[in-house]
Amino acid sequence: MIQENDWSNDWSSDIVDTMKTAEKTISASEFKAKCLKILEELDPPGIIITKRGRPVARVTPIPAEDNLKLIGSMKGKIKIKGNLFSTGIKWNAQS
């Protein structure tokens, strides 16, 4: 007699949820063995690391920042006092 809620290990609710979202998953042991290769090829949505079929972590890439907006952003906001190339201390190099 088969019960209505008799799920096999292959069709646990975690796997069904993962199938609905179509996210990439990998076991922790496989991630440990292949982590450098995985990090080199990581897509923007990232991947989910699982232990015993349960999600434990999500690895996502850090978005690249455009630093061009920083160039010139302080123009007119900084005042230079004195000589930039001097320490302000007089010393004798001969001594």
The strand pair at 24-27 and 54-59 is best described as unpaired
Residue 18 lies in a domain: no
Domain count of the fold of the chain: 1
Residue 20 lies in a domain: no
Task: Answer whether 0.75 is exceeded by the pTM.
Answer: no
Residue 88 CB partners (closer than 8 Å, separation 6+):
82
HSE-up (13 A, CA, CB side) for residue 61: 11
Q: What is the pLDDT of residue 48?
A: 95
Condensed to tens digits (0 to 9), the pLDDT of residues 22-51 reads 789 999 999 999 999 999 999 889 999 999
Residue 13 lies in a domain: no
Residue 78 lies in a domain: no
Percent of the chain clearing pLDDT 90 (strictly above)? 38
Residue 76 lies in a domain: no
Q: What is the pLDDT of residue 23?
A: 84
Q: What is the pLDDT of residue 17?
A: 53
User: Residue 37 is part of which domain span?
Assistant: 27-62
Residue 50 lies in a domain: yes
Single-letter code of the amino acid located at 62: I
